[in-house]
């Protein structure tokens, strides 16, 4: 049996190695780059956060805003713990950090890619790099015809696995070609949108606080739905970033907003403290230093730069005596800090980590990753309408869907 895999990224490499581990089928991985796994090398800031240390499957599946339910079979078959065992067996020691992110102990993404390179050995496995697939069709005899750049004759195979990824970070080779191939073979592509990106607000003051970070901020975005979550927030020269913003960008991936149609966002910078507690803190600080000015008292609660912004936003004199300003003025500050009003007007285009949307999951068998529309075709990884939060969940989805397809692609098809 001959199998072709389009895409030498995480999901394609795992599918290929699984085929060699479980069968004698010939497998060819076709990769447009000069080497496989280019995106893997970028992940986790080069350290490759390859999966999560979480073990509860329900909790793991809840980290996928789209595709969690579909992933259930693949995740049970090849859960994060099994992924870790697999890499360790292939002599790549791992470590789990306090926030449950799993990395190679070497902190080097190259080691992850090397595992696959060593396992894909000719003649059973062939890595065809520097080769782009231009189109795919299926013949009436069931074989797939794969047209390649730089090659006169197409490749003919019995099974095809599309592992072309999404269209985020297109410079890595993931340009969204898989959507065209899947559509040509009869599949529906759901709406595509960037996910896991920084967000841009219309207000100018957050940019002035570039570099400030908060370990815990509660974000609430309101449109037709209300999206709320708590996590670390970073203010950058471009707008808002950090894990909480990435997660929010994922939840609102399919919401439309723009400078003319902004999305309301409120930020609570003190989610663990109620208004009374904050107010008491400010009045106690004032009582301890009755001559202090308003800005100085606020600076005991928030960074100095933010204290200045608060005074400006609330149009209150920063140099006035804090004791004279009184509790009523502090209440305004607390109300602001508990619900800072902002307007989302855009995403950091081209900087998103993943693509939301993709091949419709209703058209793929979740137990095998085989297409329900085109027998012999398998779809894996980010090309599917699956995306997760940061923390190793996207690579985990790539490993487990790739694994399942690799196990089933060599089997006799039910309607053969
Ligand atoms: C900067 C960044 C950091 C990230 N960090 C993390 C992280 O730490 N943890 C995590 O879990 N996820 C992370 N992700 C997401 C994760 O990398 C992807 O979800 C995952 O790599 C998807 O795997 P894939 O196999 O589906 O696709 P990809 O890894 O995108 O691989 C697809 C491959 O197909 C090839 N290809 C496409 N079209 C063709 C064609 N026509 N012909 C031949 N080859 C083709 C491409 O060149 C590419 O190599 C990050 C993403 C980015 C961009």
What's the pLDDT tens digit per position in 135-170? 999 999 999 999 998 777 999 999 999 999 999 999
> From the alpha carbon of 395, which atom of ligand 1 is closest?
11
**CA 232 – ligand 1 centroid, Å:** 25
* Mean pLDDT across the chain: 95
Which residue has the CA at smallest separation from atom 24 of ligand 1? 165
**Contact in structure between 199 and 250 (CB atoms under 8 Å):** no
**Computed from CA positions of residues 60, 66, 72, 74, in that sequence, does the dihedral angle turn out positive or negative?**
negative
| pLDDT for the residue numbered 416 | 53
> From the alpha carbon of 37, which atom of ligand 1 is closest?
49
> From the alpha carbon of 132, which atom of ligand 1 is closest?
42
**CA 280 – ligand 1 centroid, Å:** 50
Comparing 29-33, 88-92, 289-293, 366-370, the range with the smallest average pLDDT is 289-293
- Mean pLDDT, residues 279-285 taken together: 94
Q: Is the pLDDT of residue 204 over 80?
A: yes
H helices of 27-129, where? Answer: 38-42, 57-61, 72-77, 80-89, 109-119
Q: Is the pLDDT of residue 102 over 90?
A: yes
- Mean pLDDT, residues 1-20 taken together: 98
**10 Cβ inside 6 Å of ligand 1:** yes
**CA 359 – ligand 1 centroid, Å:** 16
Domain residue spans of the chain: 2-193+352-408, 197-350
**39 Cβ inside 6 Å of ligand 1:** yes
- Mean pLDDT, residues 393-408 taken together: 98
Q: Is the pLDDT of residue 403 over 60?
A: yes
**49 Cβ inside 6 Å of ligand 1:** yes
| pLDDT for the residue numbered 349 | 77
**392 Cβ inside 6 Å of ligand 1:** yes
**Computed from CA positions of residues 290, 291, 293, 298, in that sequence, does the dihedral angle turn out positive or negative?**
negative
DSSP sequence for 260-317: SS-EEEEEES-TTS-HHHHHHHHHHHHHH-TT-BHHHHHTTTS-HHHHHHHHHHTT--
Find all residues with CB under 8 Å of 391, minimum gap 6, and list them: 49, 52, 63, 99, 100, 101
Distance (Å) of CA 270 to CA 181, 209, 228, 312: 48, 17, 14, 20
| pLDDT for the residue numbered 350 | 83
Instruction: Give dist(CA 7, CA 16) in Å, integer.
Output: 10
**358 Cβ inside 6 Å of ligand 1:** no
To the question of domain 2-193+352-408 being in CATH 3.40.228.10, the answer is: no
> From the alpha carbon of 352, which atom of ligand 1 is closest?
53
**CA 40 – ligand 1 centroid, Å:** 7
63 φ, ψ to 5°? Answer: -85, 10
> From the alpha carbon of 393, which atom of ligand 1 is closest?
11
- Convert the pLDDT of each residue in 175-203 to its tens digit: 999 999 999 999 999 999 999 999 999 99
> From the alpha carbon of 396, which atom of ligand 1 is closest?
11
Q: Is the pLDDT of residue 107 over 90?
A: yes
- Convert the pLDDT of each residue in 306-348 to its tens digit: 999 999 999 999 999 988 888 889 999 999 999 999 999 999 8
**CA 47 – ligand 1 centroid, Å:** 15
Q: Is the pLDDT of residue 415 over 60?
A: no
**388 Cβ inside 6 Å of ligand 1:** no
Percent of the chain clearing pLDDT 90 (strictly above): 92
Neighbours of 58 (CB within 10 A): 9
pTM of the model as a whole: 0.94
């Amino acid at each position: 049996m001959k199998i072709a895999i389009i895409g030498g990224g995480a999901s394609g490499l795992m599918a290929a190695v699984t085929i060699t581990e479980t069968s004698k089928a010939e497998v060819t991985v076709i990769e447009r780059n000069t080497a496989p796994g280019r995106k893997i090398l970028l992940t986790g800031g080069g350290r490759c956060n390859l999966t999560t240390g979480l073990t509860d499957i329900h909790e793991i599946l809840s980290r996928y805003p789209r595709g969690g339910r579909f992933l259930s079979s693949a995740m049970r078959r090849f859960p994060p713990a099994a992924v870790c065992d697999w890499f360790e067996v292939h002599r790549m020691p791992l470590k789990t950090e306090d926030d449950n992110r799993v990395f190679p102990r070497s902190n080097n993404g190259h080691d992850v890619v090397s595992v696959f390179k060593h396992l894909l050995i000719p003649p059973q496995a062939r890595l065809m790099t520097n080769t782009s697939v231009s189109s795919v069709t299926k013949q009436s005899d069931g074989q797939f015809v794969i047209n390649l750049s730089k090659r006169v004759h197409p490749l003919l195979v019995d099974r095809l696995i599309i592992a072309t990824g999404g269209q985020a970070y297109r410079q890595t080779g993931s340009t969204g070609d898989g959507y065209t191939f899947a559509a040509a073979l009869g599949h529906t592509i759901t709406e595509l949108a960037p996910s896991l990106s920084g967000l841009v607000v219309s207000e100018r003051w957050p940019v002035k606080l570039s570099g400030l970070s908060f370990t815990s901020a509660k974000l609430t975005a309101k449109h037709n739905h209300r999206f709320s979550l708590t996590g670390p927030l970073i203010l950058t020269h471009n707008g808002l970033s950090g894990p909480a913003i990435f997660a929010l960008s994922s939840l609102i991936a399919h919401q439309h907003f723009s400078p003319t149609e902004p999305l309301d966002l409120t930020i609570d910078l003190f989610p663990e403290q109620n208004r009374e507690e904050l107010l008491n803190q400010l009045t106690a600080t004032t009582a301890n230093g009755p001559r202090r000015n308003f800005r100085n008292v606020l600076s005991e609660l928030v960074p100095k730069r933010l204290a200045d912004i608060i005074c400006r936003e609330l149009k209150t004199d920063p140099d006035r005596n804090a004791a004279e300003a009184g509790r009523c003025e502090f209440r305004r500050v607390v109300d602001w800090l508990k619900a800072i009003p902002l307007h989302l007007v855009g995403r950091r285009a081209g900087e998103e980590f993943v693509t939301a949307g993709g091949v419709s999951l209703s058209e793929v068998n979740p137990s095998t990753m085989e297409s329900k529309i085109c027998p012999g075709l398998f779809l894996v990884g980010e090309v599917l309408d699956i995306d997760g939060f940061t923390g190793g969940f996207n690579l985990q989805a790539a490993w487990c869907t790739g694994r399942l397809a690799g196990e089933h692609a060599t089997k006799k098809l039910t309607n053969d």
